[in-house]
Amino acid sequence: MAETFKLRVNGRDCEVQAEPATPLLYILRNDLKLKGTRFGCGEAQCGACNVLLDGNAVPSCDTPLWSVPGHEVTTIEGIGGESGLHPLQQAFIDEQAIQCGYCIDGIIISAVALLRRERDPSNTQIAAALDRNLCRCGTHVRILRAIRAAARAMRASPKT
């Protein structure tokens, strides 16, 4: 039976009505119209649906609605600021690290979580952070380059 849940998504409070076990992914895409969070495998294996939950990257396809109230959700739409793109978004453009783009929002979410805990990650640390993000287009080398470039930009501008 549908119940009412209060959520905080991208800094805004909202209310949705749905079954408690509904995956957060469906709420984001269908109820809140935040289409940047993508459906890939539906089994917590591909990372296309990743969002930040209190700053940690989690697969929203495997996050039931009942577990979300009281936590801060950030989707790819909430990553950039009013001043423009997040340094990671800019770096992915600059390094041409995007081909079809289907995986990229989830990868950027994982990278945001990584750069919050590690300002100067090694390639090994980046690869470990992206272990659950699949990219079928194979832009991995460019993705690594973009994340390192964003890390440099963020170290040079600590407010980002």
Which residues here bind ligand FES, judged by CB under 6 A? Answer: 39-42, 44-49, 59, 61, 98-104, 135-137, 139
- Minimum CB separation from ligand FES for residue 104, in Å? 6
What number of CA atoms fall less than 13 Å from residue 87's CA on the CB side?
Answer: 20
- Minimum CB separation from ligand FES for residue 36, in Å? 13
**Residue number, 39 or 160, with CB nearest to ligand FES:** 39
**Residue number, 21 or 156, with CB nearest to ligand FES:** 21
What is the per-residue burial (b if ≥16 Cβ within 10 Å, else e) of 59-97? Answer: bbbebebeebeeeebbbbbbbeeeeeebbbbbbbeebeb
What's the first-to-final CA gap in the chain, in angstroms?
A: 42
- Minimum CB separation from ligand FES for residue 141, in Å? 12
**Residue number, 46 or 108, with CB nearest to ligand FES:** 46
